[in-house]
């Protein structure tokens, strides 16, 4: 379950920023997670609940923005939504695509006190 290591990394980032700001707790954290990031949201939620205990995020509210995946065909330049890395262009059928978004996994914002 790599979600636990992801959550622990997120907590460390949030705590480091909160401490640098002179805060005592993180009240809210906002995350951007792409649909192609490889994160299982159910596993992440379980890991989050357990890992935040005893940290500056113990009572924090977590908001997750799901970023839908979008790609561009490198043959015909069509931009389209995708569900998987191997999806073909709906216009020309080409599989040579560039992922434009959907791989995100980042802390977007923190509210500290």
Q: Per-residue confidence at 2, pLDDT binned at 50, 70, 90? A: confident
Other Cβ atoms closer than 10 A to 61: 11
Q: Per-residue confidence at 86, pLDDT binned at 50, 70, 90? A: very high
What predicted TM-score, i.e. pTM, was given to this entire model?
0.89
82/2 Cα distance (integer angstroms): 24
Residue 103: C-alpha distances to residues 17, 39, 54, 81 (Å)? 23, 10, 30, 13
- CATH match for 3-112 among 3.40.605.10, 3.40.50.970, 3.50.30.10, 3.30.2320.80: 3.30.2320.80
pLDDT in tens, 94-110: 999 999 999 999 999 99
Whether residue 17 is annotated as binding a ligand: the answer is: no
Whether residue 76 is annotated as binding a ligand: the answer is: yes
Helix, strand, coil in percent for the chain, rounding step 5 = 25, 30, 40
Whether residue 2 is annotated as binding a ligand: the answer is: yes
Whether residue 73 is annotated as binding a ligand: the answer is: yes
pLDDT at 1: 55
Whether residue 89 is annotated as binding a ligand: the answer is: yes
68/10 Cα distance (integer angstroms): 21
């Amino acid at each position: 379950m790599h979600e636990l290591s992801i959550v622990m990394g997120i907590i460390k980032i949030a705590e480091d920023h909160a401490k640098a700001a002179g805060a005592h707790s993180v009240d809210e954290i906002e995350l951007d997670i792409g649909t192609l990031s490889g994160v299982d949201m159910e596993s992440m939620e379980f890991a989050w609940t357990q890992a935040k205990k005893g940290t500056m995020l113990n009572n924090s509210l977590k908001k997750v923005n799901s970023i839908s995946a979008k790609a561009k065909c490198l043959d015909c330049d069509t931009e389209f939504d995708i569900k998987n890395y191997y999806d073909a262009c709906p216009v020309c059928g080409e599989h040579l695509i560039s992922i434009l978004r959907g791989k995100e996994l980042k802390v977007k914002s923190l509210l500290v006190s």
